[in-house]
Structure 1
Amino acid sequence: MKVNKINIIKKGVLFASVMLVGLGCIVKTGRKDTETLKGAFEGKFYIGAALSGNHINNQSQPSMEVLKSHFNSIVSENNMKSGMIQLREGEFNFENADKFIEFGEANGMHIVGHTLIWHSQAPRWFFTDNDGNQVTPEVLTQRMKDHIHTVVGRYKGKVKGWDVVNEAILDDGSWRKSKFYEILGEDFMKLAFQFAHEADPDAELYYNDYSMANPGKRDGVVKMVKNLQAQGIKIDGIGMQGHIGLEYPTIDEFEKSILAYSDLGVTVMITELDLSVLPSPRRDMGADVATNVEYQQSLNPYTEGLPDDVQKKFDERYMAFFKLFLDHHDKISRVTLWGINDGDSWKNGWPVRGRTDYPLLFNRDNTPKSVVSDIMKLAAKY
């Protein structure tokens, strides 16, 4: 079985230009920049990447040159979540968040804040009093307000849009029974968007979730957004997390969701995009970080690189999705990859720790995969 350890770029001029771009050097052609992803998608949508704490604190690493060459939007993977910024009540740590914002401003990036309210990485004190008892709705409301006003207010005019609430609807369309929901009911969603709007009236406000192509979740999110709109609550966009596999979700269902969310009068964003080539312990696991599976060798088959047939499927799958995004670029404002190169990706450790995955558009050595040039050629047709 033939294996490609590094994707082979096509011969000739394209080889030279793409490799230079992969190293952070934009080829000067005297015409519109089409040798980078951000140049290829100019006038269509932002193309973004998520930055880890390692990126934020080591800005001289080669992958940051790839970021500056190919991407024009950034989001922080973890460093702006409530558990990172306010681990203890009233004690805010903005060190990494400030560095992230400063980098974005210095490099002219479209900056997205992620995320204000998320059950998974909310500190425990949010929901309990000094005696360990669950707080009242009034206390939780005030804590949400204080957190959101402080964080959003600090970056007012710098962050262009916020993932206000993350992952609050289950795949069947029902509400996740998080502590926010248990204490405040559905009103926690309204309050979060209300407080974010108060803190920065000009910032765009988004709802973000995984498995957004599932019909049940689609119906639940549409219902939730319509309810917010009926109450006069500002919501500007829906983030469809793009944690996809070689076989799921279907392009058809993903397209139905793009259309359904766009019909609400909001922008659609493809967030957290990555394409796992590894076998899943069970079909369509979404991205629930609470789900982990014990390591099995059979679930980690490509430690030395991808077989040619798998690489072909990977390329075709990415091309199919980017064709979908381009077909609907009038509805989509941003497509964000969840990392810069394969070595960054959380998919190496989820849902099975210790695996080697290849989910992004750049190899571990920061060279572009062959599909990158194909995606740019595709974009040029639109």
Structure 2
Amino acid sequence: MFVPDNSLISCAGLKRFVPLLACLLLPVTLQAADDKTELQLKDHFAEQFKIGAALSEAQILDKKPGVLDLVAQQFNSLTAENVMKWEEIHPSPQQYNFSTPDKLVSFGQKHDMYMVGHTLLWHQQTPDWVFEDEKGNLLERDSLLERLQLHINTVLGQYKGKVQAWDVVNEAFNEDGTLRDSKWLAIIGPDYIEKAFEYAHQADADIALYYNDYNLFKPAKRKAVVKLVKQLQSKGIRIDGVGIQGHYALDYPDLNEVENSINAFADTGVTVMFTEVDVSVLPFPDEDNQGADISLDMALQQQFNPYADGLPSDVEQQLAQRYKQIIDLFIKHQQKIDRVTFWGVDDGQTWRNDWPMTGRTDYPLLFDRELQLKPFVKDIIN
């Protein structure tokens, strides 16, 4: 939090003797680059956790004026929304597309940001050729492991010393805690997760290695990931953290269960991150499948797109209250949480506008479509 020098010293001193809330209640007088009085999230939460954002390809390429300036001002951690996923960064056997990821990493380095690579292994957005030989037949286990290791070595080699952490494996579990039925599992077997972490550590021993998933508040899924962490640890395989994707809604999920997951993962000795935070205000067409399964694709129905012309004030108040509850939970467990990353910068580019129905109008982030910080965020922090 940027305050006059004497206030900053006072806040630091207070932190030793009174709860953090005392510091948070100090007046927010934060100076932006254009001399306007404006809140800077990364400074305000500097003593609690990193504040991150995921950037789309269009944003990385600066196609919407003002976004990168806003990101540099507000955030101190960056994640690529899509451009480091396999189909984007390694679309064919002999082709690697490093141009756009390089721009993201250079931007992060310029502004001294914590860079998180996303992701090395996922069942989605992985080209079919990865699992096939030149004749289109499925690979055998050893051949697929060799291909996985080559991919990890090449990508991590490109960003060694520039990217500080990687989501090594993404979304490997079903909601009931069983391993997801994927080609990785079918060809390699259940130890494919272990192999991915082993290869990543061998490729770059200096980076942090994370497992990342959604709906980790669900007891069965939570239990499975805790078991995974302990299994890796028991075998001497490095895992540094668990990323809890925070794709939430106004009444979903029960934050008591989210808190239980924070504690459960922290108890294993790894770092906890909230990696993809957003809060949808829209009704969801399939209550049993809320989360982040991008395979869901439904035709647009107007009853599930009620706010195309703007967000009513009463719903905005509900969003404010929900974000307050979530931020309160993060603050409560700040000693266990290393990073809070929002899955997007502003409402205009959020994936929530197109999932699970393309063309919806959602309002899930802290900045609106004009790149303005929503007033309720300042109210929460004050």
TM-score between both structures, scaled by the size of structure 2: 0.90
Aligned residue number for residue 277 of structure 1: 281
1:159-170 pair list within 5 angstroms: 159-170=163-174
The change in CA–CA distance for 1:217 and 1:26 in structure 2 (over 3 A counts) is farther
Aligned-partner SS, 2:357: coil
Aligned residue number for residue 8 of structure 1: none
Could you tell which deviates more after superposition, 81-90 or 138-147?
Answer: 81-90
1:141-180 pair list within 5 angstroms: 141-180=145-184
**Does 2:350 match 1:370?**
no
Q: Give the whole-Å Cα distance in 2 for the aligned partners of 1:26 and 1:88.
A: 48
8 Å Cα contact 1:75/1:112 also seen in 2: yes
Q: Give the whole-Å Cα distance in 2 for the aligned partners of 1:169 and 1:238.
A: 13
Aligned residue number for residue 79 of structure 1: 83
**Does 2:192 match 1:183?**
no
**Does 2:215 match 1:247?**
no
Q: 1:113 aligns with which of 102, 113, 117?
A: 117
Partner AA of 2:321 in structure 1: E
Q: 2:298 aligns with which of 273, 281, 293?
A: 293
Q: Which aligned segments of 4 or more residues in structure 1 are displaced greater than 3 angstroms?
A: 24-28
Partner AA of 1:152 in structure 2: L
List per-residue Cα deviations over 1:299-354 (Å, max 9, x = no partner): 10001111111111100000100000010000000000011110010000001111
Aligned residue number for residue 336 of structure 2: 331
Q: Give the whole-Å Cα distance in 2 for the aligned partners of 1:52 and 1:101.
A: 13
Q: Give the whole-Å Cα distance in 2 for the aligned partners of 1:90 and 1:192.
A: 21
Q: Give the whole-Å Cα distance in 2 for the aligned partners of 1:96 and 1:44.
A: 31
Aligned-partner SS, 1:348: helix
Aligned residue number for residue 133 of structure 2: 129
Partner AA of 2:131 in structure 1: F
Partner AA of 1:51 in structure 2: L
8 Å Cα contact 1:35/1:376 also seen in 2: no
Aligned residue number for residue 22 of structure 2: none
Aligned residue number for residue 316 of structure 2: 311
8 Å Cα contact 2:245/2:277 also seen in 1: yes
The change in CA–CA distance for 1:60 and 1:243 in structure 2 (over 3 A counts) is closer
Q: Give the whole-Å Cα distance in 2 for the aligned partners of 1:267 and 1:375.
A: 26
8 Å Cα contact 2:348/2:369 also seen in 1: yes
Aligned residue number for residue 48 of structure 2: 44
What percent of counterpart residues are identical?
47
Equivalences, count: 355
Task: Report how far residue 27 of structure 1 moved.
Answer: 5.2
1:14-25 pair list within 5 angstroms: 21=32, 25=34
Q: Give the whole-Å Cα distance in 2 for the aligned partners of 1:138 and 1:300.
A: 47
Q: Give the whole-Å Cα distance in 2 for the aligned partners of 1:166 and 1:285.
A: 17
Partner AA of 1:314 in structure 2: L
Segments of structure 1 that go 5 or more residues without pairing to the other structure are 1-13, 29-33, 378-382
Q: Give the whole-Å Cα distance in 2 for the aligned partners of 1:374 and 1:260.
A: 31
Q: Give the whole-Å Cα distance in 2 for the aligned partners of 1:131 and 1:369.
A: 54
8 Å Cα contact 2:58/2:64 also seen in 1: no
Q: Give the whole-Å Cα distance in 2 for the aligned partners of 1:220 and 1:38.
A: 33
Task: Report how far residue 90 of structure 1 moved.
Answer: 2.3
Q: Give the whole-Å Cα distance in 1 for the aligned partners of 2:35 and 2:215.
A: 36
TM-score between both structures, scaled by the size of structure 1: 0.90
Q: Give the whole-Å Cα distance in 1 for the aligned partners of 2:371 and 2:208.
A: 32
Q: Give the whole-Å Cα distance in 2 for the aligned partners of 1:309 and 1:60.
A: 30
Q: Give the whole-Å Cα distance in 2 for the aligned partners of 1:26 and 1:84.
A: 39
8 Å Cα contact 1:37/1:376 also seen in 2: no
**Does 2:325 match 1:340?**
no
Aligned-partner SS, 2:119: strand
The change in CA–CA distance for 1:232 and 1:213 in structure 2 (over 3 A counts) is same
8 Å Cα contact 2:60/2:68 also seen in 1: no
Partner AA of 2:50 in structure 1: Y
Q: Give the whole-Å Cα distance in 2 for the aligned partners of 1:59 and 1:262.
A: 39
8 Å Cα contact 2:209/2:240 also seen in 1: yes
Kindly report the root-mean-square deviation, in angstroms, between the aligned alpha carbons of the 2 structures: 1.7
8 Å Cα contact 1:25/1:69 also seen in 2: no
Segments of structure 2 that go 5 or more residues without pairing to the other structure are 1-26
**Does 2:144 match 1:140?**
yes
